[in-house]
Amino acid sequence: MERKELKNKYKATPQPMGIYQIRNRVTGKIFVGSSLNLHGILNRNRFQLKNGLHMNQPLQCDFLEVGEEHFAFEILDTLQPKEAGKGDYAEELKMLEELWRERLRLAIEKGYHHG
């Protein structure tokens, strides 16, 4: 298969979407988010944290202080597409993220989402 064909096939393949967390294994603090592309967002967060570019300063400081080996990048839940390449899943992801935030409320209150 040619490069262009592979690229088109990749673009046509639905990416896993859903809810993820970044968990500090030392303190137990978590950061919870959602994305239409879970692997992409986890790679982006890891890259930003490694390079001191993450927008969440408490998370960034802890990452630099204790090191990457003490953080887990985890998928909590996935949302299955109804049809390949069709649909707007932003609202469904938002609702799913809210459910997870409620489920993890205490951990989030002591985590990276506040102050």
Question: What is the reported pLDDT for 84?
Answer: 56
Task: Judge if pTM exceeds 0.75.
Answer: yes
Express each pLDDT in 4-16 by its tens digit: 888 787 777 778 9
Question: Domain coordinates of the chain in residue numbers?
Answer: 17-109
Question: For 6-27, what is the mean pLDDT?
Answer: 87
Query: Please, are residues 75 and 16 in contact by the beta-carbon 8 Å criterion?
Result: yes
Which of 24-33, 40-49, 80-89, 99-108 is predicted least confidently?
80-89
**In this structure, CATH architecture of domain 17-109:** 3-Layer(aba) Sandwich (3.40)
Closest CA to 70 of 28, 100, 25: 25
> What is 38-105 written as a DSSP string?
HHHHHHHHHHHHHTT--S-HHHHHHHHHH-GGGEEEEEEEEE--SBTTB---HHHHHHHHHHHHHHTH
Is 37 a residue whose pLDDT tops 70?
yes
Looking up tokens 């102050």 gives 115
Query: Please, are residues 19 and 32 in contact by the beta-carbon 8 Å criterion?
Result: yes
Question: What is the reported pLDDT for 114?
Answer: 62
User: In whole numbers, what is the pLDDT of the chain averaged over residues?
Assistant: 90
Strand, helix or coil at 110?
coil
Express each pLDDT in 57-93 by its tens digit: 999 999 999 999 999 999 999 998 776 556 788 999 9
